Chains A and B, each alone.
Chain A
Amino acid sequence: MKNKYSVFSLIKNALSYHENWQRAWKDPTPKKEYDAVIVGGGGHGLATAYYLAKKHNMNNIAVVEKGWIGGGNTGRNTTIIRSNYLWDASAGLYDHALKIWEGLSQELNYNVMFSQRGVMNLAHNLQDVRDLKRRTHANRLNGIDAVYLSTEEVKKFCPIINTSPDIRYPVLGGTLQRRAGTARHDAVAWGYARGADAMGVDIIQNCEVKGIKRNGDSVEGIETTKGFIKTKKVGVVAAGHSSVIANMAGLRLPLESKPLQALVSEPVKPIIDTVVMSNAVHAYVSQSDKGELVIGAGTDDYVSYTQKGSHQIVEGTLNAILELYPIFSRMRMLRQWGGIVDICPDASPILSKTSIKGLYFNCGWGTGGFKATPGSGDLFAHTIANDEPHKLNAAFNLNRFVSGDLVDEHGAAAVAH
């Protein structure tokens, strides 16, 4: 039984110099057999395990992670959460996640620092204006809060933006989703891990999958660096390495893995109290609670698993940032890093069964998976437990690349993927 985190537990543990806190999750050795194994201990994988245990009573399950939990893209993204997607299928998927975010800290008894500070997307040319207006209307028809802002309203909402008409990419307007915002990405992984662990889920770190054992068209288990684990259901949530796992099972996926970069500045006093995204120039800015500017850049165009991207990508992003926010011109950047994102041809994710019985994939989140973490876990757990997709993720099946029924969010979403 997990001790509940509260102000009383904080005081109690302060009196004993914080030396008696209970472990948030165990460090088990793998059992011989599980009812299901989740490959990948990032936010999506841990959320999947959490909802499998919580909503589908599957407690004899494990999450295997080749490194440490939350050490991949969960700890590398820019923590933006929003649901203002154009198409109905995407709106349903991402808003499902946003609704779970709104009560997640309470549900997990773990502060994920979800902050609904709003996300503003800027328009820099006439086509942007048309696209953003269209998306605002589509969002409202789907019950998602969205407003279109004029240049003056953008300036009022975020005064440090340079709205001068004579800059290279002038601000012609923008959209605002007030329910959107950010969360503490590590806390999401840790909160789900603690919640899943409390319900009996084994979280096995430093355990890399080396092979998937098949018996004809069904899964029999996985080979790992900690030995063979027998299981009839394998849910793969391996982000940039999804194709690597798929190849082990003899499958091909419509994915390309590319480096996506982000960087943070030195910490400063509060200066920007919202999230501003600018898809035309690939510049995304928010400020963390520590005071660092969190800046997202674009992807490189070649396949790479190196977790580092090209310098000119960062340079281009910072050029745009400096033009939009001249006030940042003397700030110094503290750290820069890359994560490997798995991009689908239609820039929409795959949460799907496969041609192999008992093998499920949750991948293709590309450059924007963090925001969907709770919804993705919930819907993928449903798909694994019932061997059928939930109606909200039915459109995100692998077969759409055969039928042609794509969910084309490329350029349609609020961000150029």
Chain B
Amino acid sequence: MFLINCPYCGERDQQEFKAGGEAHIERPKQPTELSDDEWAEYLFMRKNIKGVQFERWNHAHGCRKWFNMVRDTSNDEIKAIYKMGEKPPTQ
């Protein structure tokens, strides 16, 4: 349980938010040409990192906007928060 600094609303309790999983997974540009392996990679395979991970979050019980977060999954420490479309911070 932790506080999240929503880029639109400011600091709020984590229970207002919904985690949206790994960030920056790009939707295939030409889905019709994808092999089954590539589909599996896109749909199901995840880095699931123990350490610093890039994630999407949604302020579900607030402004309902999506944003990105850099978080250390080994101690739940939030490193950075940035809006959708913005360039991810370099570590």
Contact = CB atoms under 8 A, between A and B. Distances in A.
B partners with A: yes
Interface of A: 241, 243-244, 247, 252-257, 300-306, 309-312, 342, 345, 401-404
A256 B90 CA distance: 24
B21 A305 contact: no
Contacts of B73: 257, 303-306
Contact of A254 (B44, B55, B71, B75): B44
B19 A254 contact: no
Contacts, number: 70
Contacts of B36: 402-404
Contacts of A305: 50, 73-74
Nearest to B45: A252
Given A303-B55, A304-B76, A241 B50 contact: yes
A59 B76 CA distance: 42
Given A306-B74, A310-B1, A253 B45 contact: yes
Contacts of B49: 243, 247, 303
Given A301-B18, A306-B74, A311-B1, A247 B47 contact: yes
Interface in B24-74: 36-37, 39-41, 43-50, 53, 55, 71, 73-74
B53 A303 contact: yes
A241 to B, nearest CB: 7
A342 B53 CA distance: 16
Contact of B48 (A255, A306, A404): A255
User: Top 7 nearest A-B pairs by Cβ distance?
Assistant: A302-B19, A243-B48, A254-B44, A310-B1, A252-B45, A402-B40, A401-B44
Contacts of B18: 301
Q: Is the interface of B mostly helix, strand, loop or mixed?
A: mixed
A257 B48 contact: yes
A252 B76 contact: no
A257 B50 CA distance: 9
Contacts of B19: 300-303
19 contacts: A243-B47, A253-B48, A254-B44, A254-B46, A256-B21, A301-B18, A303-B48, A303-B49, A303-B53, A303-B55, A304-B73, A305-B73, A305-B74, A306-B75, A345-B44, A401-B40, A402-B36, A402-B39, A402-B40
- Which of A247, A256, A257, A305 has most B Cβ within 10 Å? A305
A255 B55 CA distance: 15
A402 B36 CA distance: 6
A257 B21 CA distance: 11
A243 B73 CA distance: 13
Nearest to A346: B44
B50 A402 contact: no
A234 B66 CA distance: 41
Contacts of B71: 302
Contact of A252 (B1, B21, B47, B75): B47
- Which of B41, B55, B76 has most A Cβ within 10 Å? B76
Contacts of A301: 18-19
A254 B1 contact: no
Given A303-B55, A402-B36, A312 B46 contact: no
A256 B48 contact: yes
A392 B49 CA distance: 31
A197 to B, nearest CB: 30
A306 B77 CA distance: 10
B45 A401 contact: yes
Interface string B1-22: 1000000000000110011010
Contacts of B48: 243, 253, 255-257, 303, 342
Contacts of B37: 402
B61 to A, nearest CB: 11
Contacts of A310: 1, 14-15
Nearest to A259: B76
Contacts of B14: 310
B55 to A, nearest CB: 7
